[in-house]
């Protein structure tokens, strides 16, 4: 699939967000091997990644590439945003790491031969494309048989719930649960905090709901076996209602999942 209108718009919007130094575009410069080990191994699935061929898929920004690079992996980053990839190159130069960067849409990984990677690592990004099947099909092609796929995705039940809409009793859940729906209409802008306390307001990238059945069933039919699934929440022992930590404990916004690819060598 070639780059379409959604890709073009999201490329521009992610470039703007990265230029404004949104949280997901801040490279890990002051960062230790111990922190990298904790980050990559936190689910107890990945341990020694030294020498492994890792694809950080739609995971630019100079964060995940640093983790794997510091742990001795052979790192490739593929991302839609030129500026996000620039952050990976900047972080690699800072740490003296070798990181390959490719610009493109996650639905088309034809730049890589089949079986190119031992691990595909995809932090939150799947929901920026309208359908999951093309992504999973591409990952199944570029991953070697028995390879591991880490995939973080939005909890579809609460994706259209406003974390700032605490009404003293609840975060209202009011929109229908529709597979493939573009949710950008509910959240048209993102506020990006700046070091001086100001906020920059930018247009949101297109973001889609993928129902749990769609994600899990499409992974299974693409040849993946589920190794584990975790809710992502912010740890805070006494969060104030109406704050982000409280929201994440009422309604975990993301799932972390690990999968193993079952396929024959010929694919
Ligand atoms: C939330 S950021 C994740 C990266 C980040 N390092 C983090 O902290 O989690 C989402 C990333 O997905 C990328 N992205 C969005 N749509 C994409 C697409 N269709 N193909 C490839 N990358 C895409 C964006 O450019 C952005 O870098």
Question: Could you give all domains of the chain from N- to C-terminal order, each with its CATH number?
Answer: 5-157+206-238+254-261 (3.40.50.150)
The residue-averaged pLDDT of 180-194 equals 96
Q: Which atom of ligand 1 is nearest to the CA of 11?
A: 25
Dihedral angle over CA of 51, 87, 123, 21, nearest 10: 160
**160 pLDDT above the threshold of 50:** yes
The Cα 22–Cα 78 span in angstroms is: 19
Per residue in 82-125, pLDDT (tens digit) is 999 999 999 999 999 999 999 999 999 999 999 999 999 999 99
User: What is the distance in A from the centroid of ligand 1 to the CA of 84?
Assistant: 8
Q: In this predicted structure, what is the pLDDT of residue 2?
A: 41
Q: What is the pTM of this model?
A: 0.96
Per residue in 16-64, pLDDT (tens digit) is 999 999 999 999 999 999 999 999 999 999 999 999 999 999 999 999 9
Distances (CA, A) of 256 to 40, 232, 253: 12, 7, 10
Q: Is the CB of 61 under 6 A from ligand 1?
A: yes
**267 pLDDT above the threshold of 90:** no
Give the percent of the chain with pLDDT over 90.
97
**1 pLDDT above the threshold of 60:** no
227: which 2 tokens? 């190794």
**3 pLDDT above the threshold of 80:** no
The Cα 14–Cα 74 span in angstroms is: 26
Q: In this predicted structure, what is the pLDDT of residue 104?
A: 97
**What residues does 148 pair with on adjacent strands?**
119, 260
Q: For 173, which DSSP code?
A: -
Look over the chain and give the mean of its residue pLDDT values, rounded to a whole number: 96
The Cα 200–Cα 194 span in angstroms is: 7
The Cα 194–Cα 129 span in angstroms is: 28
User: What is the distance in A from the centroid of ligand 1 to the CA of 164?
Assistant: 24
**261 pLDDT above the threshold of 70:** yes
User: What is the distance in A from the centroid of ligand 1 to the CA of 238?
Assistant: 31
The residue-averaged pLDDT of 202-220 equals 98
Helices first, then strands: H and E counts in the chain = 7, 9
Q: Is the dihedral of CA 80, 86, 91, 97 positive or negative?
A: positive
- Which H or E element spans position 219? helix 212-221
234: which 2 tokens? 């912010």
Beta-strand (E) ranges in 116-220? Answer: 117-122, 143-154, 189-193, 199-203
The Cα 57–Cα 244 span in angstroms is: 27
Chain centre to alpha carbon of residue 80: 12
Distances (CA, A) of 130 to 25, 134, 209: 23, 10, 8
Report the candidate in 107, 65, 109 with the shortest Cα–Cα distance to residue 84.
Answer: 65
User: What is the distance in A from the centroid of ligand 1 to the CA of 239?
Assistant: 29
Q: In this predicted structure, what is the pLDDT of residue 50?
A: 98
Q: Is the CB of 132 under 6 A from ligand 1?
A: no
């Amino acid at each position: 699939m070639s780059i379409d209108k959604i890709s073009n718009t999201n490329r521009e919007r992610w470039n703007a967000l990265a230029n404004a130094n949104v949280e997901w575009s801040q490279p890990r410069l002051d960062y230790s091997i111990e922190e990298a080990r904790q980050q990559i191994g936190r689910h107890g699935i990945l341990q020694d990644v030294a020498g492994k061929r890792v694809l950080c898929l739609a995971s630019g920004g100079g964060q995940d590439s640093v983790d794997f690079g510091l742990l001795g992996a052979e790192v490739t980053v593929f991302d839609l945003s030129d500026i996000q990839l620039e952050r990976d190159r900047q972080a690699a130069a800072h740490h003296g790491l070798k990181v390959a960067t490719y610009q493109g849409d996650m639905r088309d990984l034809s730049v890589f031969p089949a079986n190119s990677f031992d691990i595909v690592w995809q932090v939150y990004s799947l929901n920026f494309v309208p359908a999951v099947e093309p992504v999973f099909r591409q990952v199944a092609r570029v991953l070697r048989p028995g390879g591991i796929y880490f995939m973080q995705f939005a909890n579809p039940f609460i994706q259209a719930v406003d974390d700032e809409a605490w009404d003293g009793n609840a975060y209202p859940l009011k929109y229908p649960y529709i597979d493939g729906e573009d949710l950008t209409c509910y959240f048209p802008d993102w506020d990006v905090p700046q070091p001086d306390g100001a906020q920059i307001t930018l247009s949101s990238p297109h973001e889609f709901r993928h129902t749990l059945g769609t994600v899990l069933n499409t992974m299974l039919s693409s040849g993946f076996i589920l190794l584990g699934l975790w809710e992502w929440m912010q740890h805070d022992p006494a969060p104030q209602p109406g704050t982000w930590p409280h929201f994440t404990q009422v309604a975990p916004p993301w799932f972390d999942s690990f999968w193993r690819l079952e396929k024959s060598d010929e694919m």
